[in-house]
Structure 1
Amino acid sequence: MLAALALLACASAAAATAAAGTPELGHFLDKARGIEDWLVSTRRLLHTIPELFYEEHNTSATIRRYLDELGIPYQYPVAKTGVVGTIGSGSPVVALRADIDALPIHEETGVEFASRSPGRMHACGHDAHMTMLLGAARLLKGMEKELKGTVRLLFQPAEEGGAGGDLLVKEGALDGVKAAFGMHVWPTLPSGSVRSRAGTIMAGTIQFDVTVRGRGGHAAMPHLTKDAVLAGAAITTAIQALVSRETSPFDSAVISVTRFSAGDAYNVLPDTVRLGGTMRGNTEESITHLRRRFEETVASTAAAHGCTAEVDWMEERMPYYPPTVNDPEAYKFAIDVASRLLPDASQAGETEGTMAGEDFAFIGRAVPACFLFLGTRNESVGAVHGLHTPRFTLDEGVLPLGAALHTALATQYLEQWHVRQPQGGGGSGTAGREEL
């Protein structure tokens, strides 16, 4: 009840300030715009030094250098190559997260600050995420004496396949944290907009590799073989029924075969075929069901063609990512803060989810959390290309907004947490999702 009343009060304040045309939290954006040149130069530096997951040694060193310059203490290493900074003191503790790894993509943007590592690129905007969190660190450090608690800065490695968020949680980086917030640049949304949703916003994902074994032979005499190619093709088709006929139309799931390799001659049927891809679902229950039925379908379809098949879920190399689920109260709080920060409050609101995966999911399983999308689509600066593509280009004009949003989320959470505490609570609070 206290949380609901506090949020209703915030919503009323947001409506009043929006009507007046003056964002209540606009001063955070003004401060961030005052360091825009620093933000841009920081992002461009980070863009030149992309590193893959758990190899972010230079990236981590650069982050630590910035934190040293700002006088912000930190822990290192955390989750192998990550950094956890601290601003303020006491309860509560709120966490802000940025991922720091890059992708194995050769950059084709042509910008003067392009990747200096061939075959490596910040094609998912993690350079922007780091920059926005460093910008927030700079702003928060400047108001440290005013903070009503502690802000924990999570510079997390290995989002792109290494489950760095899971390791971050297991090593205690979220211990004592009451709430956590993260954001991702999103080139399908208009630049400067902030969107999210309560509940599942990103899917659970897992990769698979299937080996089909048959008996090869001459292509002119297929009756003397056990055709693994035909079995592999049948498997590719059969597993689609797990989505179209075994998943509720009100749920969402995706099974995509993205790799298929078989033999190296035109007149020889090979002994083995390999196919691989990803499975995605909106709930862990859905993923569990799909995994079981996937294994059964693969085995039975291979057997129907006289072959055998083995499924490797690849979890030691590419771990399972659970769905990213936003705490409903954390979502309401975050969108309220964004609406009080943006010049146009209507640019903050709900969006549809995506079947892409994100290891902020591990943080959301550990503490009440909200993950937000920060729109970056801006045709005037060429920011129109998709994530994970060699031509992905960032609208750098959103960097101050990201820094300001991190700052506002942290400061407002700390302030409202104390308002929400029952009289005589002493400010220590009680762990649990009801605190939001």
Structure 2
Amino acid sequence: MTKTRRHLHTIPELLYDLPETSSYVREVLDELRIPYKYPVAQHGIVATVGKEEPVFALRSDMDALPILEEVAADTQAFESTKQGHMHACGHDTHMTMLLGAARLLKAREAAGQLRGSVRLLFQPAEEGGAGGRAMVSEGALQGVAGAHAIHVWPGLPSGTIASRAGTIMAAADRFWVRVSGRGGHGAMPHLAVDPVVAAAAAVGALQPLVARETSPTTSAVVTVAEFNTGPGAPNVIPDAVELSGTVRALTAEHFERLKSRVAQVITLTAKAHGCMVALRWGNTAYGPTVNARAMVAHVQAAVQSLGSEATWTALEEPTMAAEDFSFIADVVPAAMSFLGIRNETVGSVHGLHTPRFRMDEAQLPVGAALHAAVALEFLGSGAAAAAGAARDVTGAACAAEL
């Protein structure tokens, strides 16, 4: 698994353009003699272990981020070979864990211990491209009764597996704004229409949308992350200012209201300063990721079946990060689990989406065993239970094999 993860780490690719990544995943599936459908959603893969119903889905994302990797001395052997691209969100580890689960489940199938089938979803374009929606629209969830996904989580100690029923991740969308005025000389501001003042006022005016229009008992975030006045000089008022940022909320209703208010506040504030606004949103907003209570119960049972390999923790509150697993959770009962990877000894302490993100590779088999155990717990609760499925095909055995 370490070899697999490190190879995938060297070939990060973005969004839907994943030829090398997809080719490598298919090579491993071919070695395991697991049939698959390809292409789905351009470079996505839908593989299947087993031939019966019910059908349970396990999902991994595949794409990387446009981040320049900061390489440590002990990671140079497997650093990114693509300048400016990096697996900084752990998707290389997610693919590795799903391939490990595939190996475990294939062994169960060969032994006649798989009561149903497991669909393995290798999904492109999680990072802003709505690959989850594309997979759903192309039929990847057809006939699926439940689904599970894992995300590595640097904020949790290694070996911890955490989840919660209900909303676990927020809805999110991105916005880009151009505030246009009329440029001029800094010594004669009265002859210009200053877009810098207008844009700065708009940024300040956004803050009450959370501080005063969002209930203190819920959560929302409006972030302006870019404020660009262009390449001008200190004594030049520019013609325009560009802003970009994100909007996040825990419910779909508040999310849509917040987006409407963001557009209204920016437009009217700029207009009050004599400026015009052009605003656009991302191609596809991500809804909140909502875990089904019954699916979280299967995850908890699977973690307990792993014995000393992992520790279960119930999350008290959701995160404001977003995930396009939400598109899958919208159509089938599903659960997202967080796998803790924080380990100071191996330097796995940096956040997701940072150039110094590192993985505690000792957790790779834990994730693989969790995936397999959740699938087996789900299948065992239905047809397999009625057929008297043996308990040695669940988490403890999976953990022992890896």
Query: Do Structure 1 and Structure 2 share a fold, with TM-score over 0.5?
Result: yes
CA distance in 1, matches of 2:36, 2:384: 29
Alignment partner of 1:347: what SS? strand
Range with greater deviation from structure 2 (71-80 or 303-312)? 303-312
Residue 338 of structure 1, aligned match among 303, 321, 327: 303
Letter in 2 for 1:360: F
Aligned partner of 1:322 in structure 2 is 287
Structure 1 position 77, deviation (Å):
0.4
Verify the 8 A CA contact 1:209 1:275 in the aligned structure 2: yes
Asked if 1:89 corresponds to 2:41, the answer is no
Letter in 2 for 1:74: Y
1:386-431 deviation digits (Å, cap 9, x = unpaired): 111111111110011111011111111111022788xxxxxxxxxx
How does 1:156-171 map onto structure 2 within 5 Å? Answer: 156-171=123-138
Letter in 2 for 1:129: H
Alignment partner of 1:98: what SS? strand
Alignment partner of 2:175: what SS? strand
Aligned partner of 2:399 in structure 1 is none
Structure 1 position 295, deviation (Å):
1.4
Range with greater deviation from structure 2 (224-233 or 258-267)? 258-267
Aligned partner of 2:170 in structure 1 is 203
Verify the 8 A CA contact 1:325 1:361 in the aligned structure 2: yes
Structure 1 position 248, deviation (Å):
0.8
Range with greater deviation from structure 2 (103-112 or 122-131)? 103-112
Aligned partner of 1:378 in structure 2 is 343
CA distance in 2, matches of 1:208, 1:54: 21
Unaligned runs of 5+ residues in structure 2 are: 387-402
1:176-230 deviation digits (Å, cap 9, x = unpaired): 1000000011111000110011111111110001111112211111112221110
Verify the 8 A CA contact 2:177 2:243 in the aligned structure 1: yes
Aligned partner of 2:70 in structure 1 is 108
Aligned partner of 2:119 in structure 1 is 152
Aligned partner of 1:268 in structure 2 is 236
CA distance in 2, matches of 1:350, 1:342: 20
TM normalised by structure 1 equals 0.85
CA distance in 1, matches of 2:282, 2:152: 28
Letter in 2 for 1:198: A
Change in CA separation of 1:210 and 1:187 when aligned onto 2, cut-off 3 Å:
same
Aligned partner of 2:398 in structure 1 is none
How does 1:30-429 map onto structure 2 within 5 Å? Answer: 39-110=1-72, 111=75, 112-144=77-109, 145-263=112-230, 264-315=232-283, 319-343=284-308, 346-418=311-383
1:112-170 deviation digits (Å, cap 9, x = unpaired): 11111111111111111001100010111111021111100000111111110010000
Change in CA separation of 1:346 and 1:394 when aligned onto 2, cut-off 3 Å:
closer
Range with greater deviation from structure 2 (129-138 or 348-357)? 348-357
CA distance in 2, matches of 1:227, 1:200: 42
Letter in 1 for 2:288: P
Verify the 8 A CA contact 2:49 2:117 in the aligned structure 1: yes
Structure 1 position 339, deviation (Å):
2.0
Alignment partner of 1:168: what SS? helix
Give the aligned length: 380
Aligned partner of 2:390 in structure 1 is none
Structure 1 position 349, deviation (Å):
2.9
Range with greater deviation from structure 2 (135-144 or 301-310)? 301-310
Alignment partner of 1:294: what SS? helix
Letter in 2 for 1:41: K
Percent of counterpart pairs with the same letter?
A: 55
CA distance in 1, matches of 2:309, 2:325: 28
Verify the 8 A CA contact 1:109 1:392 in the aligned structure 2: no
CA distance in 1, matches of 2:133, 2:351: 26
Aligned partner of 2:389 in structure 1 is none
Verify the 8 A CA contact 2:58 2:148 in the aligned structure 1: yes
Structure 1 position 347, deviation (Å):
3.5
Structure 1 position 240, deviation (Å):
1.0
Alignment partner of 1:137: what SS? helix
Verify the 8 A CA contact 2:14 2:65 in the aligned structure 1: yes
Structure 1 position 72, deviation (Å):
0.3
Aligned partner of 1:8 in structure 2 is none
Letter in 2 for 1:42: T
Letter in 2 for 1:252: S
Structure 1 position 345, deviation (Å):
6.8
Verify the 8 A CA contact 1:197 1:331 in the aligned structure 2: yes
Verify the 8 A CA contact 1:339 1:348 in the aligned structure 2: no
| RMSD over aligned Cα atoms | 1.4
Alignment partner of 2:103: what SS? helix
Alignment partner of 1:167: what SS? helix
Unaligned runs of 5+ residues in structure 1 are: 1-38, 422-436
Verify the 8 A CA contact 1:284 1:322 in the aligned structure 2: yes
